[in-house]
Structure 1
Amino acid sequence: MNLRTALLTACLALAAWPAVAAQLMSAPVAVATPQESAGLVARLTALDARQGLTNDYSFRISSQHPGVTGQKITRAQHTYKGLRVLGSESVVVTNAAGDIVSVSVADRRPGLTPQASTPGGAPPAPPLPTGADLTPTIGTDEAIRIAVQAIAPGGTHRWPPTAELLIYPVMKTVRTAAAGDKPEEQLNALDLQEVVDRYQLSYLVQLRMAQDSKLIYYDVVVSARDGAIIAQWPALQTVVGSGNSQYNGVVPISTSATASGFQMLDSARGSGGKFGGMAITNADHSSPNNPDPGAIYTNSSNTWGDGQQYNGGSTTNANGQTAAVNALWGLMNTYDTNRNVLGWQSLDGNNTATYIAAHVGTSYDNAFYDDSCRCMYIGDGNSFTSLGAIDVIGHEMSHGVTAATADLIYSGESGGLNESNSDIGGEMVEAYARNGGTGSVVPAAGNDWMMGKEISRSGEPLRWMYKPHKDGSSPDAWSTSLKNLDVHYSSGPNNRMFYFLSQGSKADPASDYYSAYLTRTPAAMTGIGNDKAYRIWFKALTTKFTSATNYADARNKVLLAAQELYGATSKEAIAVQRAYAAINVGADIDEEGGGGGDGEAVERVTNGGFETGVTGWSGATGVIGAHSGQSAYEGTRFAWLGGNGRRSTEMLTQQVQIPATASSAQLSFALHIDSAETTRSTAYDTLVVALRSASGTAIATLATYSNLAPAAGYQTRSFDLLPYKGQTVTLSFAMREDRSRQTSFVLDKVSLLTR
């Protein structure tokens, strides 16, 4: 055993996520003190310093919310020379002691190159901005004026406009080396990667305006050098378009007593906020271009509404109350779904109360979530009926959850994922509510997988989650043009992914539930149900997604969430891979048991967790043990390759057999990389994962990892080895370090499951 170089991470508790699917989110977390925030920034900066980054690079804490019990999630924006780099951030999970458990990163900082896991990788990073590049020539007022002139010159400000000076990474899409010659129509989402083309000093101008009975909410990126508009995207998150509820019959609603009767204030759900609890207010036809939420609904008795569509008369009589009943029942069930199933309290996880204002405008065909007030507004409809249906409420309130967590940029693929998260939330709330609104799981059925069907006068929903293209505009699968669509349409493929993940697919090409991208066995993938699908998705959203997450990144992070909850080779993790493959994001794989229970999984790796020492392994077996300075992914032992800080090579191997009759063969392992190297461009230290023949001849290189991809915690990796069925192969993990500055490749939980 070589003496390891002292590491900063030796004092960090880089614990693995326990594979327990029923974990609940913590109770609301206290906002960090300035000292606590500074301490976390210092630790993140120290990790950067190990990679040779100067004090030009730092972090800015942007939000905090609960993680699973005993953990906190902090979002840290990346800064360069004191300026935020838009879309570049770290999602940091810490335990009760403040130790870093895991970090999910989207790194777009100047001078840093995206790291590919295989040769051929990303192109060089653009040059660092100079001092002149970071000196604005226009001020904030001028930037706001330019943005207003471009978006709504005749509009009025509903909320004061803001302009933040920052560094805007102008992105471009490049092909991976393996996809260089692929025809455009054959490209998969994982064949492309987004890299920084150039940096521009810019203002992010946020306009929250109104004009001609319309709310005009836009984020506009204005060059701070010449005033040119670089990018813009809408920021208003809409659906587009015992009480007697309109859609659900007689439903129980939670109200509060007053001196003269009752009010629609639910003090049992949420605290603080504008009204001190969850509330429904009467906007009483307040103009949609500057709606006033009005006062909380009151009534002399505790029986509300007549269950009928609003007829245009009084907003306070029984008919006018029905829209408020719809809203309160929807708000209660949205709160209860996330609280009882996930432990997540209200929109922000910290139990801050929200409210919904009913009767906005006159015959207003919209409902929207406004993050400026963290509230929702509902119109009475014209082409639609009242927009307070259960899935619409769940959809809009889920925008609030997104705003409090990943804050997905409302444009391109990230905007589509933002909308998709709300559609997913709407459907899960509908399933929960339709089955009585109680219990700790999302019921397996009850939702219709059609967004807004109840509010449609024609019976046609806004969106079909299982077959998005039925609306004529939403694609069923990812393509290179997806990022150019309106976010309500670019949400389509991910909606379909979630449907397949929950409900499975069909093998009949004529079916709406069929995907031609599912080419492995069985042709009809098996779903894992609403409850597990929602837990996986919510974990990825809250602990891994960043504001710039696209479809390829989402697939990898949803898969990681499934592996952490249920295991690296679990049926749930396989279902995630198949569901994303069904929308052309990643490759399809064979299902465990062929989908029909006709075979048991067999573990082909001996002692893959290293808990029985060197059993089964050959080569530099001295790297196996319970060494101080690193921690195991599971159990107490692991294999620590590297970490020597001098020229060295270490290899671990194990011979395995893949039966000729195998229908699936999945290799997986957990890998943690940390490094003292200071470069961000040269791979000095590497770990090559390969297959070799019995004689030692290389058959295939599965991946190459290096000092360029350190991470604060284990990452799980998986590979399809079915092409090698009928062969006896040797798994090889070969580490090489150069003459100085250590890189550690810590390996655990190696598994090869065949069926």
Structure 2
Amino acid sequence: MNPRTLLLAACSALSLHAHAAAQLMSAPITVATPQDSASLVARLNALEARPGLTPDYSFRISSQHPGVTGQKITRAQHTYKGLRVFGSESVVVTNAAGDIVSVSAADRRPGLQAQAATPNPPLPADLTPTLSTDAAIAAAVQAVAPGATHRWPPSAELLIYPLMKSARSAAAAGKPDSQLNALDLEDVVDHYTLAYLVQLRMALNGKLVYYDVVVDAKTGAILKQWPALQTVTGIGHSQYNGQVPISTSAIASGFQMLDSARGTGGKYGGMAITNANHSSPNNPDPGSIYTNPSNTWGDGLQYNGGSTTNANGQTAAVNALWGLMNTYDTNKNVLGWQSLDGNNSATYIAAHVGTSYDNAFYDDSCKCMYIGDGNSFLSLGAIDVIGHEMSHGVTAATADLTYAGESGGLNESNSDIGGEMVEAYARNGGSGNVVPASGNDWMIGKDISKSGQPLRWMVKPSKDGHSPDAWSSTLKNLDVHYSSGPNNRMYYFLSQGSSADPASDSYSAYLTRTPAAMSGIGNDKAYRIWFKALTTKFTSATNYADARNKVLLAAQELYGATSKEAIAVQRAYAAINVGTDMDEASGGGGGGGDGGGEPAERIVNGGFENGATGWSGSTFVIGAHPAQAPYEGTRYAWLGGNGRRASETLTQRITIPASATSAQLSFALHIDTDETSNTVYDTLTVTLRAATGGAVLATLATYTNLTPADGYQIRSFDLLPFKGQNIILSFAMREDRSQQTSFVLDKVSLRTN
């Protein structure tokens, strides 16, 4: 008897439509050993085995942090002849067995077919620097601040630096500049230079001077530089929360502001608030942890310039501790993400930096935050300010968005988003596993403003007089605190929706489909989608167009490819001139899917509802059976489930247009097995093959009997490196002689822009 017809009589009651459930991040992961990293690099090299990838190309593991429960996220920098290629990396999500769940990449490697239909330019033949690291550092210091002193030791990394330029898509060739959409342009490599990335963390005249500088390794010329200090300073124009609970620790003399329940390790062994006691911002000393004979702290009033340790001086520390606790709790309780890095590493905030210091900043060198008492501002420890700064730490641990150009604007926007979501959580009691629908004001830094004017408005960024409301080709030239504006507005629309009234702050002329006022999905869903995109898909080089595609993919993975949440992402980005608008009800609208149009589906009959149409190979596996539930519709492809030696393959020819700006493959996969041994017996291998000759271009993933799951899981892969090619997508199943494993496939999709 064929087990395929029987095996899941008891399994048909499973909840297989799993994407609607909230998923939490895993507990902190174990730091990878050198052997683990070498093994992963070997697997990545094998995964990337395709034409053009010689042994000169490899990977360097830069960071690892938790994914959703049972998964790990690894960031792997691309290297060529042992040198890192700046801004080129892969983000790989794996499950507990090491199987690939998703891959997202920014590929700027020399000689490969990446962003354009033609290969990237070759490298100079000579990769030997004429400049020493010391000379590179000296050149950078001379360019930035010759008289400054080093607060942290400077560093210089020799790397391959791609100098980028903007290229129009074929569809936008004749468009006037004023009509360009973000998806009309793509960043391509103009040429490569051997360079040093010099990181300077200096101080001068009472100010911190943190810069990253790219120095030509042959000539010493400065190729690019950008500020690296992440602050909330803006156009300058509380206390803020009344009586609040704070978590402290008992000591022999009373109590200290050390929260040992949140975070481990670090400088103080837990989350701590310290007294910088007017230490100069030129080289701030965090000082000692705040202590008090009783466990009642602060007087709730603005600091008056006197003692930093009496009740009035403690108030800034109360603000800081309450803000830090709520930032930690928002991400942990809602998302499962622990501390800044997901691995529960403790951080600290130092209060009373400088005298009347009008700033607060996050310093990744110590993974900590410093808060001034304010002069034009009130004390800078408001809840959204702390959430903002601590969110810089999350970015640094994950996407590490380069703090310049469009990626720098997205870096700042992520912190504004984090600040607002922490504010909503904190002001609704600071508990629960969702971000409340209200409680935040969508204004950054309003509480610290003496005039009542915030630093930034998320609903209409242009109200500050500097930030644009929508993307334009000049956005990358702005200060990152201003280039964050359009993405902030996108997030407001995604959460709250828009207005059809042209007089409203929440009106967008770019929303031209039905209804004119787009629907929002609320704070909780918007934050889950954004955080998933940041941590599992963004790279350091992500720009607005790339962010739109990856936020959309995150929404599709969480809530479904045609869900209202995915439609809301597309409309919210369209509202800021990134992509085109679409109707909410039908999911239609827009153009044909290339360049600036709406995504086009390249898979024929991906849900198998039309039987074998579009598919070749073992098409008898397509159908509907009472023993298996579909992901959606009525049919699916059931590979395996035989309980005997068997080989089954489904293939489809696909073409990715040369003009594509994104190409996202996804499919829903359910795995169950009768195997009980901890040995791989049955496999499903997903590959891309050459349309002519059938040679394997890439192995996307291999799934086995060791990775069963109670429901469908969405798997996703970035196929943009294969644009301009005709290829074959292949799902190949192999079962051994006994004990079935079923690989149930549904909702295969390849969407290109």
* TM tier relative to shorter chain: 0.7 to 0.9
Is the alpha carbon distance of 1:143 and 1:283 closer, same or farther for their aligned partners in structure 2, counting shifts above 3 Å?
A: same
Is the alpha carbon distance of 1:361 and 1:108 closer, same or farther for their aligned partners in structure 2, counting shifts above 3 Å?
A: same
Structure 2 match to 1:126: 121
Q: What letter is aligned with 2:283?
A: N
TM-score w.r.t. structure 1 length? 0.81
Q: Indicate yes or no: 2:89 matched with 1:73.
A: no
Q: CA–CA distance in 1 between the matches of 2:137 and 2:379?
A: 36
Structure 1 match to 2:93: 93
Q: CA–CA distance in 2 between the matches of 1:99 and 1:673?
A: 11
Alignment partner of 1:518 out of 497, 511, 514: 511
Q: Indicate yes or no: 2:70 matched with 1:59.
A: no
Alignment partner of 1:383 out of 361, 376, 390: 376
Is the alpha carbon distance of 1:594 and 1:556 closer, same or farther for their aligned partners in structure 2, counting shifts above 3 Å?
A: closer
Please give the per-residue CA displacement for 1:113-172, whole angstroms capped at 9, x wherever unaligned.
225xxxxx5454212331x2x110010000000000110100000000000000000001
- 8 Å CA contact 2:49, 2:697 repeated in 1: no
Shift of 1:102: 1.4
Q: What letter is aligned with 1:34?
A: P
Structure 2 match to 1:278: 271
Please give the per-residue CA displacement for 1:598-636, whole angstroms capped at 9, x wherever unaligned.
xxxxxx9x9956567xx5454655453659xxxx99599
- 8 Å CA contact 1:649, 1:736 repeated in 2: no
Q: What letter is aligned with 1:62?
A: S
Aligned CA RMSD, in angstroms, stands at 3.1
Is the alpha carbon distance of 1:282 and 1:608 closer, same or farther for their aligned partners in structure 2, counting shifts above 3 Å?
A: same
- 8 Å CA contact 1:108, 1:196 repeated in 2: yes
Q: CA–CA distance in 1 between the matches of 2:214 and 2:620?
A: 52
Secondary structure, aligned partner of 2:19: coil
Q: Indicate yes or no: 2:210 matched with 1:217.
A: yes
Secondary structure, aligned partner of 1:125: coil
- 8 Å CA contact 2:109, 2:120 repeated in 1: no
Structure 2 match to 1:674: 687
Please give the per-residue CA displacement for 1:277-298, whole angstroms capped at 9, x wherever unaligned.
1000000000001000000001
Q: Indicate yes or no: 2:546 matched with 1:553.
A: yes
- 8 Å CA contact 1:475, 1:490 repeated in 2: yes
Q: How many residue pairs are counted as aligned between the two chains?
A: 648
Alignment partner of 1:624 out of 600, 619, 623: 619
Q: CA–CA distance in 1 between the matches of 2:651 and 2:181?
A: 36
Shift of 1:745: 8.0
Q: What letter is aligned with 1:420?
A: S
Matches within 5 A, 1:76-155: 76-115=76-115, 122-130=117-125, 132=126, 134-155=127-148
Q: What letter is aligned with 1:336?
A: D
Please give the per-residue CA displacement for 1:493-536, whole angstroms capped at 9, x wherever unaligned.
00000000000000001110000000000000000000000000
- 8 Å CA contact 1:414, 1:549 repeated in 2: yes
Alignment partner of 1:343 out of 336, 347, 353: 336
Is the alpha carbon distance of 1:594 and 1:513 closer, same or farther for their aligned partners in structure 2, counting shifts above 3 Å?
A: farther
Q: What letter is aligned with 1:126?
A: P
Alignment partner of 1:299 out of 279, 288, 292: 292
- 8 Å CA contact 2:544, 2:578 repeated in 1: yes
Shift of 1:674: 3.3
Secondary structure, aligned partner of 2:243: strand
Q: CA–CA distance in 2 between the matches of 1:649 and 1:70?
A: 30
- 8 Å CA contact 1:633, 1:714 repeated in 2: no
Shift of 1:35: 1.3
- 8 Å CA contact 2:651, 2:729 repeated in 1: no
Gaps of 5+ in 1: 1-15, 116-120, 596-603, 641-647, 653-667, 678-682, 687-705, 718-734
Alignment partner of 1:207 out of 200, 206, 226: 200
Shift of 1:583: 0.2
Secondary structure, aligned partner of 1:222: strand
Q: Indicate yes or no: 2:747 matched with 1:749.
A: yes
Q: What letter is aligned with 1:674?
A: T
Q: Indicate yes or no: 2:496 matched with 1:483.
A: no
Structure 1 match to 2:533: 540
Shift of 1:572: 0.2
Alignment partner of 1:422 out of 401, 405, 415: 415
Matches within 5 A, 1:671-710: 674-675=687-688
Structure 2 match to 1:663: none
Structure 1 match to 2:487: 494
Secondary structure, aligned partner of 2:199: strand
- 8 Å CA contact 1:478, 1:584 repeated in 2: yes
Q: CA–CA distance in 1 between the matches of 2:266 and 2:630?
A: 41
Structure 1 match to 2:345: 352
Structure 2 match to 1:721: none
Gaps of 5+ in 2: 1-15, 589-600, 623-628, 640-649, 655-663, 668-684, 702-714, 720-724, 733-744
Please give the per-residue CA displacement for 1:628-657, whole angstroms capped at 9, x wherever unaligned.
xxxx995995499xxxxxxx99679xxxxx
Structure 1 match to 2:6: none
Please give the per-residue CA displacement for 1:416-448, whole angstroms capped at 9, x wherever unaligned.
000000000000000000000000000000000
- 8 Å CA contact 1:650, 1:736 repeated in 2: no
Please give the per-residue CA displacement for 1:668-723, whole angstroms capped at 9, x wherever unaligned.
9846973355xxxxx8699xxxxxxxxxxxxxxxxxxx998985553499xxxxxx
Secondary structure, aligned partner of 1:49: coil
Structure 2 match to 1:24: 24
Q: CA–CA distance in 1 between the matches of 2:526 and 2:551?
A: 10
Matches within 5 A, 1:506-655: 506-592=499-585, 615-618=610-613, 622-624=617-619, 637-638=636-637
Q: What letter is aligned with 2:688?
A: S
Is the alpha carbon distance of 1:78 and 1:411 closer, same or farther for their aligned partners in structure 2, counting shifts above 3 Å?
A: same
Q: What letter is aligned with 1:510?
A: A
Q: CA–CA distance in 1 between the matches of 2:170 and 2:326?
A: 48
Q: CA–CA distance in 2 between the matches of 1:460 and 1:278?
A: 31
Q: CA–CA distance in 1 between the matches of 2:84 and 2:549?
A: 26
Q: CA–CA distance in 2 between the matches of 1:736 and 1:125?
A: 20
TM-score w.r.t. structure 2 length? 0.81
Alignment partner of 1:504 out of 483, 490, 497: 497
Q: CA–CA distance in 2 between the matches of 1:497 and 1:48?
A: 34
Matches within 5 A, 1:428-467: 428-467=421-460
Q: CA–CA distance in 1 between the matches of 2:333 and 2:118?
A: 47
- 8 Å CA contact 1:206, 1:220 repeated in 2: yes
Please give the per-residue CA displacement for 1:172-214, whole angstroms capped at 9, x wherever unaligned.
1000001000111111000010110100000000000000000
Structure 2 match to 1:473: 466
- 8 Å CA contact 1:685, 1:743 repeated in 2: no
Secondary structure, aligned partner of 2:269: coil
Q: CA–CA distance in 2 between the matches of 1:633 and 1:364?
A: 60
Is the alpha carbon distance of 1:560 and 1:162 closer, same or farther for their aligned partners in structure 2, counting shifts above 3 Å?
A: same
- 8 Å CA contact 2:500, 2:517 repeated in 1: yes
